[in-house]
Amino acid sequence: MKYTLKVLRKAPGEEKQYWQDFEYESESENDTVASALLKIGEVKWECSCLQKKCGACAMVIDNIPRLACDTKLSDCKSETITVQPLRKFPVISDLVVDRSILYRNLETMKTWLSQDADFGDANPDKYRELAYQGSECIQCGCCLEVCPNFYPGGSFFGMASVPLTMRLLSETDRKLYMDNAKLYRKHIYSGCGKSLACKDICPRKIDTEKLLVNLNALAVWKRKKK
Ligand code: SF4
Ligand code: SF4
Ligand code: FES
């Protein structure tokens, strides 16, 4: 099967982006956009695991943010496939974007614990399960692409900061818990429009709605007693 990959490219240090077509002959119906980019060779992009586990290969394929290693060419709607870098981050080169704002936001959210995790008076099994789901987040940024309220540098941090934030609500130190809940209210709760576009797009199938509902409850009205 022959495919044309229309790639939106940019040379490092240049402002201007331009489209370039690459022909690719696929020999297997399991070939992915990542396999094609690897064979083409010329285009700059990021990958590490090729198994949907690192998030590095997130890009916009046929106008949908996805992981290149998880997008089969045979599942695309036609033999001509458009491939663009994520649009909410500065483009470094071709499909490589600078997602460092994601990590800076996580630093602001203080997603580390001062002591062992403890869900206090909340239902421990339920919250353990939610924390486990949160740990599935690979920081790919696909959810931010479709989020109507996220833009880099804004006070709303978007869904990519939520799954790991689950940890801070199992904080046992009372003062740190209150500080963390305050950060959650400022950077997540008050900016999220609950449109749940993030839920449909997440390549790890994280139930973002469930995380939001439970974190909102813990951070906004259901104070832990400990
Ligand atoms: S629910 Fe909507 S506003 Fe909130 S994080 Fe998801 S996409 Fe963004
Ligand atoms: S919530 Fe899903 S889409 Fe968003 S960064 Fe995490 S894994 Fe990616
Ligand atoms: S290369 Fe790791 S998720 Fe695609």
Per-residue pLDDT of the chain (226 residues; tens, 9 = 90+): 999 999 999 999 899 999 999 999 998 999 999 999 999 999 999 999 999 999 999 999 999 999 999 999 999 999 999 999 999 999 999 999 999 999 999 999 888 777 777 766 666 777 788 888 888 999 999 999 999 999 988 999 999 998 888 776 777 778 888 888 899 999 999 999 999 999 999 999 999 999 999 888 888 876 655 4
Tokens of 9: 């490219």
Query: What is the three-class DSSP state of 211?
Result: helix
Say if ligand 2 is within 6 A of residue 142 CB: yes
Question: Which ligand is closest in space to the CA of residue 57?
Answer: 3
Q: Which fold has domain 2-97?
A: Ubiquitin-like (UB roll) (3.10.20)
Separation of 69 CA from ligand 1 center, angstroms?
A: 25
- Please, where in the chain does CATH 3.10.20.30 lie? 2-97
Whether ligand 2 lies within 6 angstroms of the CB of 52 is answered as no
Please compute Rg for the chain using Cα positions: 19
User: Is this structure's pTM higher than 0.75?
Assistant: yes
By the 8 A CB rule, do 130 and 212 touch?
A: no
Would you list the DSSP string of 171-195? Answer: --SHHHHHHHHHHHIIIIITT----
Ligand closest in space to the Cα of 133: 2
Domain spanning 100-221, CATH class: mainly alpha
Positions of CATH 1.10.1060.10 in the chain: 100-221
Measured in angstroms, how far is the CA atom of residue 100 from the centroid of ligand 2?
Answer: 15
Residue nearest to ligand 2 atom 1, measured at CA = 160
Are the beta carbons of 160 and 143 closer than 8 angstroms? yes
